[in-house]
């Protein structure tokens, strides 16, 4: 039970940190001429050596001491990570932030829950199912349907929804693959492989953006923050938490991101949340609270049968 609580704490911390991404990106856009493609690539490019330095300090020459299938999965995580971020930004350009966020964040928990039950051996209890539905409804109310759409451009709207659905599917894949690696690999190893691979894969797109190193001090601080805190630290927290928490739970808890973003936007940019938004926030927090009280035995492990769960081994 202690391991599960630790995992839930790490997941909540991950959702809170990810909730700062939109605010930091908006402030960065105000301070610099960097476009989303440039920010995404530079963020990944900075995160890669930071991960390498941390991994070298903790693992030394054993950084790549993993079997070939796992190394392939970790490299795939890098591609998935950078592509889903790009697809999300492409969706935002076509259908607006709210609808893109709604699709990208609400669909993954459903995908993860279904796949986890059907293929990964997890059992979705009645309490967890209620929490899942409450979280999705709460996020829907929180994000809202009042975003500006494609401005009458039907083709652009269809493309935007398509990009958002691809982003959602890849986010779900990221959580499930990370869960499968969590019991076999230290949290830093997937990151030290994923970020360099992502930087290389995204380079052709990133280099077409408004790349510049002539940034003000505030711009560099924001860019480094995005590269180190929401990327390196938060992804490490997610991977560490997935040792003790099922993938279906993780995908719901990380829905804290839009709640934190909405609260910060209210504080920093005076964007009002409104009664419906606060109702959604309450539902979301209630769902997460409900998940935190699910007994440790309420889920079967999503790990392969021959790989014991670390939390189970400690119990």
Which residue is it, tokens 């054993």?
A: 62
CA dist., res. 230 & res. 200, Å (int): 20
For residue 10, tell me if it sits in a domain.
yes
- Is residue 71 in some structural domain? yes
Amino acid 242: pLDDT: 86
Rounded CA-CA distance 53/203 in Å is 22
CB contact set of 302 (below 8 Å; sequence gap of 6+): 116, 120, 121, 122, 176, 179, 180, 246, 247
295 pLDDT above the threshold of 60: no
Half-sphere exposure of 290 (CA within 13 A, CB side): 18
Report the C-alpha gap between 11 and 267 in whole angstroms: 23
User: Which stretches of the chain are DSSP H helices?
Assistant: 2-18, 21-31, 36-59, 68-95, 97-119, 126-143, 154-182, 188-206, 217-226, 234-241, 247-253, 256-269, 274-292, 310-314
Smallest CA-to-CA distance from 54 within 181, 198, 232, 231 is with 232
Residue 74 lies in a domain: yes
Share of the chain above pLDDT 90, in %: 21
Q: Which of 66-80, 169-183, 235-249 has the highest mean pLDDT?
A: 66-80
Instruction: State whether residue 207 is helix, strand or coil.
Output: coil
Q: Is residue 304 part of a domain?
A: no
pLDDT of residue 27: 85
The answer to whether 285 touches 259, Cβ cutoff 8 Å, is yes
Predicted confidence at residue 297, as pLDDT, reads 44
Q: Enter the pTM of the model.
A: 0.73
Residue 59, domain member (yes or no): yes
* Any domain includes 199: yes
| Total count of domains within the chain | 1
Q: What is the CA radius of gyration of the chain?
A: 19
Tell me which residue range forms the domain holding 91. 2-297
- Residue 35 neighbours by CB distance under 10 Å: 15
Q: Is residue 312 included in any domain, yes or no?
A: no
| pLDDT, averaged across the chain | 77
């Amino acid at each position: 039970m202690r391991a599960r609580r630790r995992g839930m704490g790490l997941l909540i911390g991950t959702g809170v940190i990810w909730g700062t991404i939109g605010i930091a990106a908006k402030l960065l856009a105000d301070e610099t001429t960097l476009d989303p493609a440039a920010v995404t690539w530079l963020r990944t490019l900075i995160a890669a050596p930071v991960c390498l330095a941390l991994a070298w300090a903790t693992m030394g020459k054993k950084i790549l001491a993993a079997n070939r299938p796992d190394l392939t999965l970790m490299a795939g995580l890098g591609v998935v990570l950078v592509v889903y971020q790009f697809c999300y930004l492409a969706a935002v350009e076509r259908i607006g932030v709210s609808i893109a966020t709604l699709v990208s964040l609400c669909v993954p928990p459903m995908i993860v829950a279904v796949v986890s039950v059907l293929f990964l051996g997890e059992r979705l209890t009645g309490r967890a199912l209620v929490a899942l539905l409450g979280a999705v409804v709460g996020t829907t109310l929180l994000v809202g349907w009042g975003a500006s759409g494609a401005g009458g451009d039907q083709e652009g709207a269809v493309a935007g929804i398509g990009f958002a659905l691809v982003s959602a599917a890849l986010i779900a894949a990221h959580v499930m693959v990370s869960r499968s690696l969590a019991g076999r690999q230290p949290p830093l190893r997937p990151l030290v492989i994923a970020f360099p691979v992502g930087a290389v894969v995204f380079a052709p797109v990133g280099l077409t953006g408004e790349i510049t190193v002539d940034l003000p001090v505030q711009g560099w601080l924001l860019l480094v923050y995005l590269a180190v805190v929401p990327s390196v630290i938060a992804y490490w927290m997610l991977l560490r938490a997935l040792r003790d928490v099922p993938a279906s739970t993780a995908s719901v808890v990380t829905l804290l991101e839009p709640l934190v973003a909405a609260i910060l936007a209210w504080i920093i940019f005076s964007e009002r949340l409104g009664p419906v938004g606060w109702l959604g926030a309450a539902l979301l927090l209630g769902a997460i609270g409900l998940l935190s009280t699910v007994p440790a035995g309420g889920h079967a492990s999503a790990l392969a049968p021959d790989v014991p769960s670390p939390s189970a081994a400690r119990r």
